[in-house]
Amino acid sequence: MSDPFTPSAELSAIARRWLQHYASRQSKMVANLFSGSEAWTYVGSDDNEIWTGQDLCRSFNAYTDEQARLILEDIKVTGFEAGSFGWACATFTVLSENRQVSSFFRSTFVFTLEDAVWKIVHVHNSVPKASMESMGYESRSLDELAASADVGSFHIGRTGIASVMFTDIVGSTALAAAMGDAAWSRKIKAHLAQIASDIQKFGGTLVKSLGDGTLSSFTSAQAAMRAAQAIQRVNAQDEEEPNLSIRIGIHTGDVVQSGGDYLGSVVNKAARIAAIAEPDEIRVSDATRIMVGAAPGFIFSGPETTRLKGLEGDHTFYRLEWRE
């Protein structure tokens, strides 16, 4: 059976335009894009923000006007249509007007043709959380990669210290289901090849890849972080859909003393840090942060403290900026 859905630049543009109108609080333009159907539904990111029907649609202007203006960056939108029906999915970063607060958002739109004009009949906004935080579990590939680590595969300096890096694609299960096995396999093959190239470029060793995740090691914390920045930058420049979101975690420690215990500790902590990272984010442990000191080319936010699955006590991490 042929695929009834075709890519729609028009719906992508409408979704992008709606987001920009909403962020700048142009309430009339926001409401003008809504369907006249009683099936109209808006699901917001806040608790209890689930609204339906034309009465609420008409009052959306007042709701929009009361909200603070926002700044949207890194907007990525894909749209598809089939006859009189279509949908779009958007990812973007939301910043407060003073740029002091930011958050990663996802929005989906359902469209219907009304009098030959595309109208929005459903909007759903969400703020993703790491699976461990929201559901009590995390990406299986990270666990499996950590469990399969072998000290003989690691690139270790003369001091016995290595910086271990994990990469993982956010939402890969849903993407794979949407694309189908063959297309997803091609996408992942190209993705992993690019990551392997970036790791090698900065002197690292790709220890193993499993599914859509990778485990690598570096003799230098600086090299590991530069590789992570390169991976995110190259990925952000990839215009081929679907656009992937990568999370990366790095931890530095002694991986050779006391047999496999040290290895397991360093690898597991790096995996846990990757698991709590947000989409398009690089998080590094305090040990990795200390290693680079005031070296140029690194901008950090934090520190922040959290609990990590399977590890005792509180753990400090930093966010490493990669956008130029």
Q: How does residue 188 score in pLDDT terms, banded at 50, 70 and 90?
A: confident
pTM, two decimal places: 0.54
Angle, vertex CA 298, rays to CA 295 and CA 299, nearest 5: 125
- Please identify which residue in the block is written with the tokens 């991976």: 231
- Average pLDDT, integer, range 312-316: 83
Q: What is the pLDDT of residue 55?
A: 60
Residue 138 pLDDT > 60: no
Domain spans of the chain? Answer: 6-126, 132-320
72-114: pLDDT as tens digits? 888 889 999 999 999 999 988 888 777 766 778 889 999 999 9
What are the DSSP calls for 112-129, one per residue?
A: EEETTEEEEEEEEEE---
Mean pLDDT across the stretch 162-182? Answer: 83
**Does residue 237 or residue 134 have the better pLDDT?**
237
For range 268-281, the mean pLDDT: 87
Checking if the pLDDT of 192 tops 70, the result is yes
Residue 53 has pLDDT above 60, yes or no: yes
Mean pLDDT of 48-61: 67
How far apart (Å, rounded) are the C-alpha atoms in residues 19 and 107? 9
Assign a CATH topology to domain 6-126. Nuclear Transport Factor 2; Chain: A, (3.10.450)
* Burial group, residue 26, by CB count within 10 angstroms (0-12, 13-18, 19+): middle
What pLDDT, on a 0 to 100 scale, did the predictor assign at position 143?
60
Confidence bin at 135 (pLDDT 50/70/90): very low
Q: Which fold has domain 132-320?
A: Alpha-Beta Plaits (3.30.70)
In the predicted structure, residue 227 carries a pLDDT above the cut 90: yes
Beta strands in the chain (DSSP E): 6-7, 41-43, 50-52, 70-82, 85-96, 102-114, 117-126, 161-169, 205-210, 213-218, 246-254, 281-285, 300-307, 314-320
Q: Does residue 11 carry a pLDDT above 90? A: yes
The arithmetic mean of pLDDT across residues 147-174, rounded, is 69
- pLDDT tens-place string over residues 253-268: 876 544 443 456 788 8
Percent of the chain beyond pLDDT 90? 27
Average pLDDT over residues 163-174: 86
